Amino acid sequence: MLELVKKNIHMNRWKGYATSQITLDDDFIVPDSMDDVDQIILSSGDITIDSVKVQTERVMVRGKLDFMNLFRGAEGGLQTLSGNINFEEPINVPGLDEKDYVQLGWDLEDLNTGLINSRKLSVKSIVSLKVKVETASDINAAVEVDTGGTAIDVPMVETLRRNLDVASIALRHKDTFRIKDTVTLSGNKPNIDHILWTEMKLRGVSLRPMDGKMMLDGEQLVFVIYQGEGEGAPIQWVEESIPFSGELSVPDMTEDMVPLVTVHIIHKDIEAKPDADGEMREMDMDSVLELDMKLYKEENMELLSDIYSTNRELTLQTEEALFDKILTKNMSRCKVVEKISLDQADRILQICHSEGTVKIDDTEIKEDGLHVEGVLELRILYMTSDDAQPIQSTVEDIPFHFLIEAPGINEQTVCQLNPGLEQLSAVMMGGGTVEVKATISLDLLALQPIRERIITNALESPMDLNNLQKLPGIVGYIVQPEDSLWNIAKKFHTTIDTIIATNGLTDKSVRPGDRLILVKELA
């Protein structure tokens, strides 16, 4: 009795994409404990996703916009007003099933804070939500033949095999990594009266899978504006780069897996505290990173391409299967150098901080790779000579384009791209010009779908002796251009080994025009 030995291959098929833009708009009353608002100096916001619920043909996303505004009060001092706007957004995804895997990405496209009056602010923003859907697909492909039975009735089977490189998702894992550190003021800085503004950004995060763990390292940029201690003390700022490294336990991870990981800061807090002398000269920094890990495993598989028997009739059942192959895993770096002119250049004393966000506008697959177009959204904070407006900021968009090399890429290639910012500097030049230098990281994982016909079943029946007797016992044959030893042996009811032995061949290759003696195998 002939049976096929099959291997289950767990694949994830890309099922679809969906995007949604939502506008958040709300008004906020300035608390009685704060001064009247004279001018808004800085605004920033972060999106926090609370839940993603997969339903039939739609995804329900719940989250909030956390915003912070630094403003100059009517009395001349700086104060901070923060708050949040909750949202719940259904995103229609045709064909989505509750068992599908959904990956959500988001961008804060725009954030504007306006003055309605001195006691009321208007906060508006546009949030883009991007849904990517994958569905599980299990493929059972024949990899071996088990003939079984006794020596009398064992089918005499010939097999043709082929090797295939297959990439499948081996592991999905979400985890968090905590960073805690203490920032100490330098000797030329006054003590902290109270903190006005905080920012935390990631730079140069790298991840490396190891057996049983994920290694990570990078830098966290911390920027703080604070009010100095004492009457008439000037506004101060501190900027520190805090390196971090560590590992996350992931028991099923192996070193040879190919990672695609997104990293977000989901919690951040900076609090002033006294030092050993009791003076407010230290700040405790606490942040939590969320890592959404997807790891692929490459495997070289040997599949059965064809089967026939010299003493049985075999009817093969086949179907077309779609496999993934890793076309490229490419970490590219795009250098950006730009000179921009600032308004009020004659009043700028110095640049005290710059931060940027990478936004991808478009990607296009071409013969030589993936063309990426986007902008570096740059915000520059600077000190001015105007005592009434000592801190000002400006936002500039710097376009960039880059080619990520990916040989063999085509319209069927599935590209997964994670952008990041590794380095950024903004230096004041002469004439009110600022020179901006940045390094943008573009982490690309490109999967190439491959269609392959696989054997799913083989039906066995007794050999038709009448048809067998019609075949000549021995025949001379001239090899044709489309021939291989396999199809010649199958057609003339013999085996490759018999053809090689009969004709004194040294290997399994033949050329058009070769003359062969073919001897029929007896059932």
- Secondary structure (DSSP) of 40-63: EEEEEEEEEEEEEEEETTEEEEEE
- The DSSP code for 385 is S
Alpha helices in 264-370 (DSSP H): none
What pLDDT tens digit does each residue of the chain (523 aa) get? 788 898 887 777 888 889 999 999 999 999 999 999 998 988 999 999 999 999 999 999 999 999 999 998 888 788 999 999 999 999 999 989 888 999 999 999 889 999 999 999 999 999 999 999 988 888 888 899 887 755 556 778 999 999 998 888 889 999 999 999 999 999 999 999 999 999 999 998 999 999 999 999 999 999 999 999 988 788 899 999 999 999 999 999 999 999 999 999 999 999 999 999 999 999 999 999 999 999 999 888 899 999 998 888 889 999 988 888 999 999 999 999 999 987 776 678 888 899 999 999 999 998 889 999 999 999 998 888 777 677 888 889 999 999 999 999 999 999 999 999 999 999 988 777 899 999 999 999 999 998 889 998 988 888 877 777 777 788 899 999 999 999 999 988 899 999 999 999 988 889 999 999 998 876 5
pTM of the model: 0.84
**Could you confirm whether domain 465-523 is CATH 3.40.50.12780?**
no
> Who contacts 328 (Cβ-Cβ below 8 Å, separation ≥6)?
405, 406, 407, 409, 444, 445, 446
Structure confidence at residue 17 (pLDDT): 87
121: alpha, beta or left? (left if phi > 0; alpha if psi -120 to 50): beta
Task: Render 209-266 in DSSP notation, one character per residue.
Answer: EETTEEEEEEEEEEEEEEEESSTTPPEEEEEEEEEEEEEEE-TT--TT-EEEEEEEEE
The strand order across the sheet containing 235-249 reads: 192-210, 213-228, 235-249
Task: Render 143-171 in DSSP notation, one character per residue.
Answer: EEEE--S-TTT---EEEEEEEEEEEEEEE
Phi–psi pair at 485, nearest 5 degrees? -60, -35
Domain boundaries, the chain: 11-140, 165-305, 315-463, 465-523
Q: What sign does the dihedral 460-466-467-470 (CA atoms) show?
A: positive
Structure confidence at residue 151 (pLDDT): 53
Output b/e per residue, 110-143; b: 16+ Cβ within 10 A: ebebeeeeeeebebebebbbebbbbbebebebbb
Q: Long-range contact list for 343-347, CB < 8 A, 24+ apart?
A: 343/394, 344/384, 344/392, 345/431, 345/432, 345/433, 346/432, 347/384, 347/385, 347/386
Structure confidence at residue 41 (pLDDT): 87
Of the candidates 84, 99, 86, 104, the one whose C-alpha atom is nearest the C-alpha of residue 20 is 104
Point out which residues pair with 382 in neighbouring strands. 351, 392
Distance CA 474, CA 127 (A): 77
Do residues 387 and 339 touch, judged by C-beta distance below 8 A?
no
Distance CA 83, CA 268 (A): 15
- The DSSP code for 189 is S
**What percent of the chain is helix, strand and coil (3-state, nearest 5)?**
5, 75, 20
Structure confidence at residue 433 (pLDDT): 86
Point out which residues pair with 69 in neighbouring strands. 43, 81
| Encoded amino acid at 265, one letter | I
